[in-house]
Every structure is written in C-alpha cells, then in structure tokens.
Amino acid sequence: MAADPITEQQVDAIVLDLIKLHSQAVQVEPEVFMDLLKHSLSLNTMEKKRVVDAVPTLSQFQFDELTKVFTEEREKFRELAKDHPEDIKKLLTKQQTEWVHLWDLYRAELENQGKKDEDKAKEEEIKKSLGL
C-alpha cells in the first residue's frame, strides 16, 4: 500500500531539522532561513535541495549572504506582484508543489541508500560463505 502523501508542514519540519543540525556552529535563525528558502520563487526543487544539503558546510558569511539574497528576492517579487498578480500566484502555486516534492527527492535517496546497504550486506554474506 502506498504511503500517505506528505504534507507541506511535514516537509517544513524535516528541512528545519536538517538546518538545525548545523545552526549551533553559526548564528542563524533556522526557522527564518527555512522560510526564506521555502518561499524562494527563483530556485527550483533541486536547487533548494542543494542548499539544504550544503547547510552543514556553510560558513557564517554564506548563511548571511543567502539570507540577504532570499530577503531581497522576496521584496522584489512583492513589488512585481503589484503589477503582475496572476503571474506571481502561478509561481507561488508552483513553489508550494515543488516544496512537497523536495521530500520525494530525499525519500528516493534514502531508499537508494537502503538498497546499496542491502547489496553490500549480501555481497559480504557471499564472500563469507565462499571463505573470502
């Protein structure tokens, strides 16, 4: 049976946990950073995933710069929304859908890793049975 679809709030919690893992080493407000990343209209799903994946290696400067860029982007899109509300609504809808798909990428990675671990265990079992 297929798993229940994940909610936007569940994805928020997962990404927030990933960001919090590194937030002790730098001064960053994980909730604010996650919100800025989540609502970025210029990054696609893969780009957002790359940012989340890079979180453990980001310096204070990089966090500060990303926060600044995301904040400026948000302000610019708010301005654009005044003249192009329908276009921005479409982008927002796309962003919400893509955010939920972010979990699909992580789930696929976890399943792939699990398969690799299984294959490795089988390989070790075969070697052991052959006395290698």
pLDDT 10s digits, 60-75: 999 999 999 999 999 9
Single out the residue of 81, 93, 26, 108 nearest to residue 59, CA to CA.
Answer: 26
Residue 34 has a CB neighbour count (10 Å cut-off) of: 23
> Which amino acid type is present at position 9?
Q
CB atoms within 10 A of CB 12: 15
> Taking a C-beta distance cutoff of 8 angstroms, is the pair 26, 60 a contact?
yes
* pTM flag (> 0.85): no
Q: Is the per-residue pLDDT at 109 higher than 90? A: no
Angle between helices 8-20 and 30-38 (to 10 degrees): 130
Distance CA 129, CA 132 (A): 8
Sorted by where each begins, the domain ranges of the chain are 8-129
